Structure 1
Amino acid sequence: MTVQTERPPSGPVDVAKTTPGGPRGPRPATGKRAGTFVPYLLLLPACAATVLLLGWPLLKDVLLSFQNLNMAQLIQHVTEWNGVENYKQVLTGEDFWRVTLRSILFTAVNVVLIMVAGTLIGLLLARLGKRMRLTLMMGLVLAWAMPVVAASTVYQWLFAQRFGVVNWVLDKLGWHSMADYSWTSSQMSTFFVVTLLIVWMSIPFVAINLYAATTTIPSELYEAASLDGAGVWKSFTTVTMPFLRPFLYATTFLEVIWVFKAFVQVFTINGGGPDRLTEILPVYAYIEGVGNQHYGMGAAIAVLTILILLGLTAYYLRIVLKQEEDEL
């Protein structure tokens, strides 16, 4: 019985095709493995700068919060560890919780005003002509680019008691009782000036971001909505808002962080006064730490401020993610 086997191919055999990796054999995987580390090497300088500029000061602040440190100990280079005593004093006192509640309310009011005004101006930019849009954007950029200390000084001049422009204008308009009014003499009036300053400096960021977001909306969607009989409000809710919602979430998140740590504006206007009634957590930490020379106490307040801010942002991100899941 004859068994037939497969006939070998006739003619010369191409070794380059039959051999894995070509005529030189299989390619080594060393080059491929080295390529996987390239992204991490590119990120290394940024990570090193972050650790050096943020991580190390944060670690020093945490270590300082567990020390009893005043001016005499600082001069003598004496380190006195007191455990969680600083945190215990802060958390058991009424001042910290009062300032925390004030900081949260202050942040909420400012963020709402910033987002509403910034969104309206951003939508206005999308509807203006080219020249008017350019003029308004130049004004927004100039307001945004002004240094915080310079802007705070300008607002101090505007709301000065004797020679302030605001009091002079109000007096000329008929409110003669405002001719010599002190805007920093009460808690609410001081917060009004600070809020006006923060909102004025924050609106450009929101407005420009929202205007940039509107440029990504295809015009065909508005045409389709108009063919379906949708009016201005219906087009806004069904076309504009779905595109703007991610930008609104991200911008609100950034504004919460920025307003919550608004130290310069509050401290420059009135130093947290009158009678420390306008202190928010960053100002409270500075006054307790540097002003009263309780550096360990101030460091503990700063650490707690960071934890509260992380908690607020985590809660906000949880709400955003839940809303996105519901939309899906």
Structure 2
Amino acid sequence: MSVQTKRTDTGTAAAPGVRKTDVPPPGDPTGPGPGRRRGGASAPYLLLLPGLLATVVLLGWPLVKNGILSFQNLNPRQLILHLTEWRGFDNYTDVLGSTDFWKVVQRTVVFTAVNVVLIMVLGTLMGLLLARLGKRMRLLLLLGLVLAWAMPVVAATTVYQWLFAQRFGVVNWLLAKAGWSSMADYNWFGTQLSTFSVIILVIVWQSIPFVAINLYAATTTIPKELYEAASLDGAGTWKSFTSVTFPFLRPFLWATTFLEVIWVFKAFPQIFAINMGGPDRLTETLPIYAFVEGPGNQHYGMGAAISFLTILILLGLTAYYLRTVLKQEEDEL
């Protein structure tokens, strides 16, 4: 038995029981035509537009102003008299020709590397521990991590100053009670190494929760069947980690490591609040160095040049990271 279809006014065939008004006309954005495709393709860009505008206004314009300032000779005299004295590239020449600048760059790189290695190793171990704990212990540990993560940076730094205070610090008191009587009055902020030790402790303590919680969330996406298959093949704990867990977590570890490098590289409040880059400016990193040479010495053009060079270094790290990620994606394809 043949089924006869009715024709609409537009010349197209309609299925039995389908009214003329149910078929969207050509070009209707609600239908499957080109209008619908164009609207769907532009939707992601429209959603990104507010964020891009906010970035341009809040970040792009200050960056442009900082770049212009880095070519000027600006001090209190110029500010009071509203003078604009251009120095060209002299600020950059003075900075790049200074041995102090390169010492600070080297110190910043070493400081960043030590922090990132400790953060990633301890954060990964903590995340894997969260994946293996029971529900109650996991909730308790997550609560502690969130509280440490949510604590304001300056407040956390102040607490560590109290803990490592020379006369009434808890750390010195505990060390003295444990038998190290020479540590009863130890000045943790009197040498470069001990000051950096306290700063690293603060930064690592505040950064571990971000890595641990996100890594634990990533482990929940790994199919259980893969672990069962690995166990049937005789794989132990370490073999299961290297063959199942680590391949799934590799993109997360790359992204998190990159974020931690940026966050530690530009760390300012922890270092400045602990000892303002002391003793004898031996714990200054690039952000502290830019602040001291700029607003601290009232040579704002020099400080702007140092901060702009810091941004260029971060952009170089970003470019290297993106190149590595794109290369990995090409290899996987």
- Aligned residue pair count: 318
Alpha-carbon distance between aligned partners in 2 of 1:91 and 1:278, rounded to the nearest angstrom: 20
Matched residue, 1:5? none
The one-character-per-residue Cα deviations of 1:248-280 (angstroms, maximum 9, x if unpaired) are 011001000000000111111000011101000
Paired residue secondary structure (2:9):
helix
Matched residue, 1:241? 246
CA distance change for structure 1 residues 241 and 66 in 2, over 3 Å: closer, same or farther?
Answer: same
Alpha-carbon distance between aligned partners in 1 of 2:169 and 2:63, rounded to the nearest angstrom: 41
Does the 8 A contact of 2:69 with 2:300 survive in 1? Answer: yes
- Is 1:41 the equivalent of 2:46? yes
- Is 1:119 the equivalent of 2:115? no
Given candidates 32, 55, 62, the residue that maps to 1:50 is: 55
Matched residue, 1:4? none
Given candidates 47, 56, 65, the residue that maps to 1:60 is: 65
- Is 1:78 the equivalent of 2:83? yes
Paired residue secondary structure (1:69):
coil
Structure 1 segment 157-196 matched on structure 2, within 5 A: 157-196=162-201
Matched residue, 2:139? 134
Given candidates 254, 267, 275, the residue that maps to 2:272 is: 267
Alpha-carbon distance, 1:309 to partner: 1.3
Paired residue secondary structure (1:267):
helix
CA distance change for structure 1 residues 237 and 77 in 2, over 3 Å: closer, same or farther?
Answer: same
CA distance change for structure 1 residues 211 and 26 in 2, over 3 Å: closer, same or farther?
Answer: closer
CA distance change for structure 1 residues 247 and 94 in 2, over 3 Å: closer, same or farther?
Answer: same
In the superposition, the TM-score normalised over structure 2's length comes to 0.89
Structure 1 segment 194-209 matched on structure 2, within 5 A: 194-209=199-214
Stretch of structure 1 that moved more, 70-79 or 89-98: 70-79
Alpha-carbon distance, 1:78 to partner: 1.4
Amino acid at match of 2:239: K
Paired residue secondary structure (1:16):
coil
Runs of 4+ in 1 over 6 A off after TM superposition: 22-25
Paired residue secondary structure (2:73):
coil
Matched residue, 1:230? 235
CA distance change for structure 1 residues 174 and 13 in 2, over 3 Å: closer, same or farther?
Answer: closer
Given candidates 9, 18, 31, the residue that maps to 2:11 is: 18
Alpha-carbon distance, 1:43 to partner: 2.6
The structure having more radius of gyration, on CA atoms, is 1
Alpha-carbon distance, 1:79 to partner: 1.2
Alpha-carbon distance between aligned partners in 1 of 2:182 and 2:76, rounded to the nearest angstrom: 46
Matched residue, 2:94? 89
**Unaligned regions of 5+ residues in structure 1, if any?**
1-10
Alpha-carbon distance, 1:315 to partner: 2.4
Stretch of structure 1 that moved more, 29-38 or 222-231: 29-38
Does the 8 A contact of 2:166 with 2:187 survive in 1? Answer: yes
Paired residue secondary structure (1:140):
helix
Alpha-carbon distance, 1:70 to partner: 0.3
Alpha-carbon distance between aligned partners in 1 of 2:25 and 2:235, rounded to the nearest angstrom: 67
CA distance change for structure 1 residues 252 and 26 in 2, over 3 Å: closer, same or farther?
Answer: closer
Amino acid at match of 2:171: V
Matched residue, 1:318? 323
Amino acid at match of 2:9: A
CA distance change for structure 1 residues 34 and 271 in 2, over 3 Å: closer, same or farther?
Answer: same
Does the 8 A contact of 1:19 with 1:25 survive in 2? Answer: no
CA distance change for structure 1 residues 16 and 154 in 2, over 3 Å: closer, same or farther?
Answer: same
The one-character-per-residue Cα deviations of 1:188-212 (angstroms, maximum 9, x if unpaired) are 0000000000000000000001100
**Unaligned regions of 5+ residues in structure 2, if any?**
14-19
Cα RMSD for the two superposed structures: 2.4
Matched residue, 1:215? 220
Alpha-carbon distance between aligned partners in 2 of 1:14 and 1:309, rounded to the nearest angstrom: 65
Does the 8 A contact of 2:92 with 2:305 survive in 1? Answer: yes
Does the 8 A contact of 1:144 with 1:204 survive in 2? Answer: yes
CA distance change for structure 1 residues 237 and 33 in 2, over 3 Å: closer, same or farther?
Answer: closer
